[in-house]
Amino acid sequence: MFRMGAALVDENEEAGFAYSLRSKWPLNEQNKPRSDFEVEALDFLEANPGENFYGEEELGGDKYFVAAYPDRAVPEACWTCHNEHSNRGEDYPEFKKDDVMGAVVVRIPLQ
Ligand code: HEC
């Protein structure tokens, strides 16, 4: 569901922003970090529970304000489904309550 929403926003230039779901341990390869900024954001969010990560990034000659928010394991369904999923890679963590499982990354173009 989330990815469908993200795809819709990506295609709607008038919305003026884009968001995506990222993780260092993605069940879907498409959700792995795609820039140095995203790697830095995921490392920061994991090391600093309860905080968000903000910055600026240049992609393809365009500048963006980028905000990354932690996606945490709050309801039990999060970690039970992920920990048992067949797409888990070899280094996949055993997620538990309150773990930062990934990040929601929002990009807003700057002029
Ligand atoms: C019923 C199974 C299920 C449940 C429940 C679930 N997820 Fe996922 N999650 C998935 C699958 C499958 C993907 C890959 C989806 C895709 O194709 O983009 C995914 C993707 C993600 C991603 C992006 C990285 C990746 O693994 O591809 C994050 C972060 C994430 N989930 C966190 C959570 C959190 C936090 C919760 C609880 C609020 C949760 N998930 C609940 C199955 C689940």
CB of 28 closer than 6 angstroms to any ligand 1 atom: yes
Amino acid identity, position 75: P
Residue found under tokens 């309550």: 97
Ligand 1: residue whose CA is nearest its atom 40: 78
- Cα angle vertex 28, ends 23, 30, to 5°? 75
Q: Calculate the CA 57 to chain-centre distance.
A: 15
CB of 27 closer than 6 angstroms to any ligand 1 atom: yes
CA–CA separation, 2 vs 16, rounded Å? 18
Give the ligand 1 atom nearest the CA of 29. 27
Q: Give distance in angstroms: CA of 61 to centre of ligand 1.
A: 32
* Size of the chain in residues: 111
pLDDT along the chain (111 residues), means of 10: 57 74 96 96 96 95 95 97 96 96 95 75
Query: Quick one: pLDDT at residue 16?
Result: 77
Work out the burial of residue 25: count CB atoms within 10 Å of its CB; fewer than 13 is exposed, 13-18 middle, 19 or more buried.
middle
